[in-house]
Amino acid sequence: MKKFTSSSIPIVKRIADSTVRRLSLYLRFLEDFEKRGIATISSDELAARGGTTSAQVRKDLSFFGSFGKRGLGYSVAELSARLRQILGLEREWQVIIIGAGKIGAALAQYHGFSQRGFRIIAVYDADPDKVGRAVDGLVIRPLTDLADDAKRQAPDIAVLAVPAVAAQEVADLVVKSGIRAILNFAPHQLQVPETIAVKAVNMAMELEGLSFALTNG
Partner DNA sequence: GATAACTTGTGAAGAAATTCACAAGTTCAT
Partner DNA sequence: ATGAACTTGTGAATTTCTTCACAAGTTATC
Give yes or no for a contact between 80 and 23, defined as CB atoms under 8 angstroms apart.
Answer: no
**Contact residues for its own copies, defined by CB under 8 A:** 9, 11, 15, 17, 20-21, 23-25, 27-29, 49-51, 86-89, 93, 95, 102-103, 105-107, 109-110, 112-113, 116-118, 156-157, 180-183, 187, 189, 191, 195, 197, 199, 201-217
Q: b or e along 11-45 (b: 16 or more beta carbons within 10 Å of the residue's beta carbon)?
A: eeeeeeeebeebbebbbebbeebbeeeeebbbbeb
Q: Cα 105 vs. chain centroid, distance in angstroms?
A: 18
Answer yes or no whether residue 85 interacts with DNA by CB under 7 A. no
**Min separation Cβ 69 and its own copies, Å:** 25
Q: Which is nearer to DNA, 25 or 175 (CB)?
A: 25
Residue 48 has a CB neighbour count (10 Å cut-off) of: 14
One-letter identity of residue 51? G
Q: Which is nearer to its own copies, 62 or 211 (CB)?
A: 211
Q: Which is nearer to DNA, 69 or 111 (CB)?
A: 69
Answer yes or no whether residue 44 interacts with DNA by CB under 7 A. yes
Answer yes or no whether residue 42 interacts with DNA by CB under 7 A. yes
Binding to DNA (CB under 7 A): which residues in 65-84? 66-74
Give yes or no for a contact between 180 and 159, defined as CB atoms under 8 angstroms apart.
Answer: no
Q: b or e along 138-160 (b: 16 or more beta carbons within 10 Å of the residue's beta carbon)?
A: bebbebeebeebbeeeebbbbbb
Question: Which chain residues interact with DNA by CB under 7 A?
Answer: 1, 14, 16-19, 42-44, 52-56, 58-59, 61-62, 66-74
